[in-house]
Amino acid sequence: MRFSDDKTNHLSHALFKSLDDYPEVDFEVENNEVRLMIKEALVGSLQTFDDLEEKVRKNLLSRSQKMIEGSREWDIEYSKIYEEEIQKLKGV
């Protein structure tokens, strides 16, 4: 999933504000640095999911038994492989 720079900036500001609202949270670096770290984590996470989706899609397209993308069979296999890849990422 791709977000514009404006959208990731908006999300990083919103997440920072949510964290900053907790009196128990005390940042050891400047606020903008925290916000930039949040933005970097968002972009990295979104890229990981984009890469994962592409990997699953390529897996399905490379099979000898061809499936129609968007069909029920495709959706079932996609979900199954996607969940397996998520578990690998989690180290489970």
Domain ranges for the chain, please list them: 5-90
- Convert the pLDDT of each residue in 12-23 to its tens digit: 999 999 999 999
Q: What is the pTM of this model?
A: 0.74
Asked if 46 contacts 24 with a C-beta cutoff of 8 angstroms, the reply is no
35-71: pLDDT as tens digits = 999 999 999 999 999 999 999 999 999 998 888 988 9
End-to-end CA distance of the chain: 24
Helices and strands per DSSP (H, E), number in the chain: 3, 0
Q: What angle do CA 17, 37, 13 make, to 5 degrees?
A: 25
Q: What is the mean pLDDT of residues 9-36?
A: 94
Using CA atoms, how far apart are residues 85 and 70, in angstroms rounded to an integer? 20
Q: Is residue 80 scored above 90 in pLDDT? A: yes
Q: Write down the pLDDT at residue 91.
A: 83
